[in-house]
A and B are shown apart, each in its own frame.
Chain A
Amino acid sequence: MSAMTMTQKILAKHANLDSVTAGQLVLVDVDMVLGNDITSPVAINEFNKLNLDKVFDKEKVALVMDHFTPNKDIKAAEQCRQCREFAMEMNITNYFEGGNVGVEHALLPEKGLVTAGDLVIGADSHTCTYGALGAFATGVGSTDMACGMATGKAWFKVPSAIKFVLTGKPSKYLMGKDIILHIIGIIGVDGALYRSMEFTGDGLKYLSMSERLSMANMAIEAGAKNGIFEVDETTLEFLKEVGAKEPDVYKADEDAEYDEVYTIDLSKLGPVVAFPHLPENTKTFDQFDDIKIDQVVIGSCTNGRLEDLKVAAEVLKGRNVASHVRAIIIPATPKIYLEALEKGYLKIFMDAGCVVSAPTCGPCLGGHMGILAKGERAVATTNRNFVGRMGHVESEVYLASPYVAAASAITGKISHPREVME
């Protein structure tokens, strides 16, 4: 039996095989099939062509109405209605809308719907987020989603992998977001194309679950099929706390083959910013001068969790958002919203002059709730800064951590958190 990576072990298990090797084609059983209000309607149209009266497992499909909700226009409302009616018809347990909805990749882990060792496909590219929990999770299209809902299966080519050994203790102001941006800056937006990114090393113990989720979330921004973290105490505690199924923990074999191995000393890294129009265009603060901004967005499946809001509140407490800046804070789920309310973060944000929005993907993909005009610049804790991503084709998005975003909201230019905090 050949040595396997974490990813390969999960694929082998779900293909009912003892072992698999890179390049092998496998048919796997899926533990969860996910879709949102943009991708599910296309999947439902395809599913309906099969004339089935039920999905493969009503508890293993999740439909999350998070992208254009609260419905931004009539057409968006029609798309949600189609999903809602489908969910009712198929008795789908995990249908989320209205006061139950949060940004899908923040919501599913919080609800305990994914556990270590699971295999998840989602018609959303950031489905790779659940790799933080030790699951194999990957983005697919709507037709794959339809096929998954119908058969409970998906085809995969077993990927080879790149290993990232994280060592050392992160320096002050360094967040998981900075680490993953730094890595994408090194390997590029297609640096892990078709492959897995596996994260391990003694530096993991310093990374909270929230930081790991934001790192695995951006594996797709390096082209990866999936990103996955080695399971440790932090993972197991999180899974227990959210009431997830019993975890199935896979460790890579000692002699598993990796295409490349990168060792990254977290104590040597500082905050970074990804400049327009690719996540690989990363710069450290000594590499650019003042860049004036018009908007800040703190939220999304990358950085809209409680810990992200805590960091933002720490920076914004008792300070004011610059007069020419719109600072939009989007707690990713209703639970996070409520906790941020109870902990006083929302008051801090509003006192500072921020807008606090209901959970939504909204501006991240240029949907609504904070669209940019021609020539405007935003610092966002989101995951993509492609041309026109948040609005006008001549607007610009700079990707950064909640620390950097909050500091920038105050100064009105892209700022290192120490400019405000020290």
Chain B
Amino acid sequence: MNAYGKVIKYGDNVDTDVIIPARYLNTTDKKELASHCMEDIDPDFKNKVEPGDIIVAGRNFGCGSSREHAPIVIKESGISLVIAKSFARIFYRNAINIGLAIIECPECIDEMDEGDKVRVDFDKGEIVNETKNKTYKASPFPPFIQTIIQNGGLINSIKNNAFGG
């Protein structure tokens, strides 16, 4: 599995209220929700995002509400991966559970700029910033998380009897 795209960059403590403001949570329609992705922090997001793009952010990405709508709108917008210095724990769980790829890589964030082209090889755990010609190693997920990912999310893990095994 790989990801390749341009970087869309944010700072520390990007909260779920700016990822998807609560005023739009009166629907579960993914497309409708995604039309408001990042609206309160980056009104231009929906114009600049292209399939495969990678969100790069600082500490505590996804803090705040437990709304799963946050990773859902990011995934639905075509983002292939979020790389951050750290993730808020509920967002981290939710991303894994719905199959949005995320990587913690504290050392690579400050050296990435908006628009850089980045390639990620998940199997090798390798992050390559092609624009800056820099390569980083990301730490792999614990095995139980890999099982959820391999099964295509938590619900499929239960269907496949891979939950609790």
Contacts and interface: CB of A to CB of B under 8 A. Distances in A.
Interface of A: 25, 27, 38-39, 41-42, 45-46, 49-50, 67-68, 72-73, 75-76, 79, 122-125, 127, 139-144, 146-147, 150-151, 153, 155, 157, 189-190, 193-194, 220, 223, 225, 278, 365-367, 384, 386-389, 393
A38 B164 contact: no
Of the four ranges (under 10, 10 to 19, 20 to 34, 35 or more), the interface on chain B belongs to: 35 or more
A285 B26 CA distance: 38
A85 to B, nearest CB: 14
A172 B60 CA distance: 35
19 contacts: A25-B144, A39-B68, A68-B25, A68-B26, A125-B65, A140-B90, A141-B90, A142-B94, A143-B68, A143-B94, A146-B154, A147-B158, A155-B163, A365-B17, A365-B65, A366-B17, A387-B17, A387-B18, A388-B21
B41 A387 contact: yes
A387 B17 CA distance: 7
Contacts of B98: 141, 143
Nearest to A49: B155
A232 B13 CA distance: 36
A189 B13 contact: yes
A189 B164 CA distance: 32
Contacts of B40: 387-388, 393
Nearest to B33: A42
A146 B18 CA distance: 25
B158 to A, nearest CB: 6
B89 interface: yes
A113 B66 CA distance: 21
Given A147-B163, A189-B60, A193-B86, 14 more contacts: A75-B27, A79-B26, A125-B65, A139-B90, A142-B94, A143-B98, A150-B158, A155-B144, A190-B63, A223-B89, A278-B13, A386-B18, A388-B18, A389-B17
A417 B109 CA distance: 44
Contacts of B13: 189-190, 278
Contacts of A123: 66, 68
Nearest to A23: B142
Contacts of A125: 64-66, 90
A45 B68 CA distance: 12
Contact of A144 (B25, B26, B93): B93
Nearest to B72: A42
Given A42-B69, A189-B13, A388-B21, A143 B154 contact: yes
A104 to B, nearest CB: 12
B5 interface: no
Contacts of A68: 25-26
B24 to A, nearest CB: 10
Nearest 4 pairs of A and B residues by beta carbon: A141-B94, A75-B26, A141-B68, A143-B97
B28 A79 contact: yes
A359 B3 CA distance: 46
A311 to B, nearest CB: 27
A147 B155 contact: yes
B105 interface: no
Given A139-B66, A144-B97, A393-B40, A41 B28 contact: yes
B22 A151 contact: no
A327 to B, nearest CB: 22
A127 B93 CA distance: 15
A124 B155 contact: no
A141 B93 contact: yes
Contacts of B25: 38, 67-68
A38 B70 CA distance: 12
A42 B68 contact: yes
Contacts of A146: 154-155
A75 B26 CA distance: 5
A193 B155 CA distance: 26
B63 A223 contact: yes
A123 B59 CA distance: 23
A194 B87 CA distance: 9
A50 B88 contact: no
Contacts of B159: 49-50
Interface string B124-160: 0000000000000000001010000000011100110
Contacts of B17: 365-366, 384, 386-389
Given A146-B155, A190-B63, A387-B17, A72 B164 contact: no
B161 to A, nearest CB: 11
A375 to B, nearest CB: 15
Interface string B81-99: 0000010111001100110
A365 B24 CA distance: 11
Nearest to A191: B60
A338 B64 CA distance: 31
B15 interface: yes
Contacts of B93: 140-141, 144
A151 B69 contact: no
Contacts of B18: 386-388
A127 B67 CA distance: 13
Given A147-B154, A147-B163, A141 B26 contact: no
B89 A193 contact: yes
Contacts of A194: 89
Interface string B39-77: 011000000000000000001100111111101100000
**Which of B15, B26, B67, B142 has the most C-beta atoms of chain A within 10 angstroms of its own C-beta?**
B26
